[in-house]
Amino acid sequence: MTSEARVLLLYHTAGCHLCEQAEALAAPLTVERGWVLRRIDIADDEALLERYATRIPVLRDPRGERELGWPFDAQMVLDLLAG
């Protein structure tokens, strides 16, 4: 079972090419370090849609303490994972 502290959230929505790029960048980095990348479609939640509609893709730690908005690079993702 995956510890919640080792889950990185990716806020995205269908048809978002930047979201696809962000996932392609972040997914291997998370797996290599023992994390899980959990995709959250903002279209399924009105509050998330309001908060992130113009900001996606966004990476967020599960406790909500840190967020990383697009554009980001591999080093920025690694820094987010490192805390």
The CATH number for 72's domain is 3.40.30.10
| In contact, 72 and 29? CB cutoff 8 Å | no
Instruction: Tell me the C-alpha distance between 32 and 28, whole Å.
Output: 6
Write out the two tokens for 49.
């849609």
Structural domain including 30 reads: 4-82
How many independent structural domains does the chain possess? 1
Strands 7-12, 58-60: pairing is: antiparallel
On whether the pTM is more than 0.85, the answer is yes
* Per-residue tens of pLDDT for the chain, all 83 residues: 445 569 999 999 999 999 999 999 999 999 999 999 999 999 999 999 999 999 999 999 877 889 999 999 999 999 999 98
